[in-house]
Amino acid sequence: MARMRAVDAAVLVLEKEGITNAFGVPGAAINPLYSALKARGTIRHVLARHVEGASHMAEGFTRAKAGNIGLCIGTSGPAGTDMITGLYSASADSIPILCITGQAPRARLNKEDFQAVDIAAIAAPVAKWAVTVMEPYLVPMALQKAFHLMRSSRPGPVLIDLPVDVQLAEIEFDIDAYEPLAAFKPAMTRAQAEKALSMLNEAEKPLIVAGGGIINADASDLLIEFAEVTGVPVIPTLMGWGSIPDDHRLMAGMCGLQTSHRYGNATMLEADFVFGIGNRWANRHTGSVDVYTKGKKFIHVDIEPTQIGRVFAPDLGIVSDAGAALKILLDVATEWRTAGKLRGWSGWAKECQQRKKTMKRKTHFEQVPLKPQRVYEEMNKAFGRDTTYVTTIGLSQIAGAQFLHVYKPRNWINCGQAGPLGWTLPAALGVRAADPDRAIVALSGDYDFQFMIEELAVGAQHRLPYIHVVVNNAYLGLIRQSQRGFSMDYEVSLAFENVNRAGDPEPGYGVDHVAVAEAMGCKAVRVKKPEEFAGAFKEAQRLMKEHQVPVVLEFILERVTNISMGTEIDKITEFEELAESHEDAPTAIVMLD
């Protein structure tokens, strides 16, 4: 046993639990923890410009690699409240991050001390656990519980609030006697697997819906093998995109109201059986339950018991970690295939492949200002199969999901349920901090980019290079498109005559993103014409490698482009002409504006 401050014990625990990076903003109430971090020098710290940004960096860090847990640090007052959006988005997408806040002294709690707020109560609805630690010796034990909770069952974030006098108090602690607690994850039994496969065997047109739980479980290889053994096509959700390569013969496309493929929706409408694994039946995937479930039977496998039946009651629900489920399902399916007990679905799989070949949207446009579809077409050419895309919300994200290609798990890092504007930039920095070698391309509309644009300075200061594609139409594009239902275009335009851009060939586009990026210590390239694409992508990559800073690649778009979407999966409005084949799903609506 050794005598030390509670914060020194805390840093030893963080090390033993595998924490290598922290993102945060120091302040008076958390400075004791910072002094312990400095004394040890084992955990890299990235200084954010905004604490919400730090929380999203922690999310990006976690999402980048299996086993990662991002750490966000700040004071409990305004810094803690700034973290709430990060906690919400992490909780919504089952992402473990640890937020540590510094609190006023215990004697000053509930006395309106400077920047003192009950952050644990505020964070409780969006965290697996949120606690103010009132006894010094409980600091390492609270952290032990935090890591256990974050890793067990449905993963999620935790907030630990530390009063400054608790941080400074001395305790007896022996790190050699400390061991992380084994995570609890429920597992499908053989009997459950046999029941599920018996139901699958009765289907004529089955699909596997692969959710983000498969990626969380690092089980994408098991999914692909299970799909290949059974021959059942796969529909990944947006959070599960990359769990099977886009060009795999059994990848049948994504389904949904916005981030979907025409062929994915058409295939879902034709199916008679859906095997959901690690998914949550999100409304933008399903649309209304009546349309989505009509004529189908469902199995739902999820790690969280209360997730099963939350949206609709499946015909069979099984509580299991996605990886554990896929392992036993694969074992039984392989045995049944060898014994001739598993039926084949090759004809159905060929139907799905045919839709995938013919039901495509057009991307090749020559217009100036640019159409966004062309930008994504060129991105597919410029960036390789190993590229990791990071994005959050808006027409930029929706079109990205419709037109880009993803081939590996964790190569589509997307804030799914919460979708806060501004998330993309700091999350991309967190991904880069987690992996110094991968190709990273962030994707933002101009409004998402402007929300937390100050974090560009973090990338420059800490040498966190990546390419940030900004599609600029000087609009809140998704909200403008939504306002069509109200016959209005109100308070969604970002356009104005910037007096500092006199003579600019794009008058009225407002903010000069290139100038802002360069003022922050980054590099930037602007693209206006189709013939500039190839050179701009090469130049962005050259600048990133040479200077080791973020590079902003801005594309000047036409002001208004409506992106395909609808209110139901059988009522998707296609605003542009279609590619290769104009043959629609039986119930799809085509409306060319």
Q: Are residues 408 and 289 in the same domain?
A: no
Does residue 168 carry a catalytic annotation? no
Give the chain's mean pLDDT.
93
Residues in the chain: 593
Does residue 479 carry a catalytic annotation? yes
305 in a structural domain: yes
pTM score = 0.94
Residue ending a domain, choose from 316, 340, 359: 359
Rounded CA-CA distance 364/372 in Å is 10
Q: Give the active site residue among 109, 316, 479, 516.
A: 479
Task: Answer yes or no: is pLDDT of 587 > 60.
Answer: no
Q: Give the active site residue among 7, 30, 46, 51.
A: 51
The pLDDT > 70 percentage for the chain reads 96
pLDDT digits (tens, 9 = 90+) for 219-264: 999 999 999 999 999 999 999 999 999 999 999 999 999 999 999 9
For residue 524, give the CATH number of its domain.
3.40.50.970
Task: Answer yes or no: is pLDDT of 589 > 50.
Answer: no
Q: Give the active site residue among 421, 494, 511, 563.
A: 421
Q: Are residues 373 and 456 in the same domain?
A: yes
Choose among 393, 329, 418, 513: nearest CA to 89: 418
Tokens 């004071």 label which residue?
Answer: 75
Q: Are residues 374 and 334 in the same domain?
A: no
Residue ending a domain, choose from 123, 148, 177: 177
Q: What confidence score (pLDDT) does residue 582 get?
A: 39
Q: Which amino acid is at 527?
A: V
Whether the Cβ atoms of residue 103 and residue 161 lie closer than 8 Å to each other: yes
331 in a structural domain: yes
Residue ending a domain, choose from 342, 359, 376: 359
13 in a structural domain: yes
Q: Give the active site residue among 25, 149, 160, 398.
A: 25
Does residue 43 carry a catalytic annotation? no
pLDDT digits (tens, 9 = 90+) for 133-143: 999 999 999 99
Whether the Cβ atoms of residue 264 and residue 253 lie closer than 8 Å to each other: yes
Q: For the chain, how many structural domains are there in total?
A: 3
199 in a structural domain: yes
584 in a structural domain: no
Q: What confidence score (pLDDT) does residue 537 get?
A: 97
Q: Are residues 167 and 27 in the same domain?
A: yes
241 in a structural domain: yes
Q: Give the active site residue among 126, 425, 476, 527.
A: 476
Burial label, 190 (beta-carbon count in 10 A; 0-12, 13-18, 19+): exposed
227 in a structural domain: yes
Rounded CA-CA distance 533/447 in Å is 22
pLDDT digits (tens, 9 = 90+) for 505-564: 666 788 999 999 999 999 999 999 999 999 999 999 999 999 999 999 999 999 888 889
pLDDT digits (tens, 9 = 90+) for 338-386: 999 999 999 999 999 999 999 999 999 999 999 999 999 999 999 999 9
For residue 219, give the CATH number of its domain.
3.40.50.1220
Q: Are residues 312 and 210 in the same domain?
A: yes
Q: Are residues 379 and 438 in the same domain?
A: yes
Q: Are residues 169 and 195 in the same domain?
A: no
Domain hosting 514: range is: 368-556
| DSSP-derived 3-state class of residue 256 | coil
